[in-house]
Amino acid sequence: MSRNNAKPEEEPQAIDLTPMLDVVFIMLIFFIVTATFIKEAGKEVTRPDAVTGDSKPNASILIAIGGDNEIWIDKKQVDPRGVVKVIERMRADNPNGSVSIQADTKAKIEFVLEVANAAREAGITDVSVSTEEK
């Protein structure tokens, strides 16, 4: 009679990665939801200095006018004749939105006025010009 004194083979220990993956996905969702999305007009401009001015952080339509008098909306260059149509299209997405014009110090005032008038034609009354604090 032989006794079966042999020990059963131990299974190799495996690390359960499921809780770690759950934590990683929860952190990913948290960072995506809380991330601040920065709106950009599409062109870097040197804004003029101003001593007085009001802060308007929630402008929904940003329009940049470069030193070469190019008009940029939503990272795309826009023909001056098509500014009204682009603003109307963007206004459909956010009817209560406002327009912020970021004009370069070298831009001609005629282009700034043309964009402001185009915004008013599109039905937006809250139009502002962005400046740097002095």
* Per-domain boundaries in the chain: 49-133
- The pairing of strands 76-78 and 49-50 is unpaired
Under DSSP, the state recorded for 43 is S
- The pairing of strands 49-50 and 132-133 is parallel
User: In sequence order, which ranges of 40-79 are alpha helices (DSSP H)?
Assistant: none
**pTM to 2 decimal places:** 0.65
d(Cα 40, Cα 66) in Å, to the nearest integer? 13
**The CATH number of domain 49-133 is 3.30.420.270:** yes
Q: Which pLDDT belongs to residue 74?
A: 85
- DSSP lists the bridge partners of residue 72 as 64, 77
- What are the Cα distances from residue 35, in Å, to 27, 30, 31, 32, 83? 12, 8, 6, 5, 30
For residues 28 and 20, the answer to whether their CB atoms sit within 8 Å is no
Tens-digit pLDDT string for the chain (134 aa) = 555 665 667 777 878 888 889 999 999 998 888 776 666 777 778 787 777 777 776 777 889 998 898 999 888 899 989 999 999 998 888 888 888 888 888 889 898 999 999 999 998 888 888 888 87
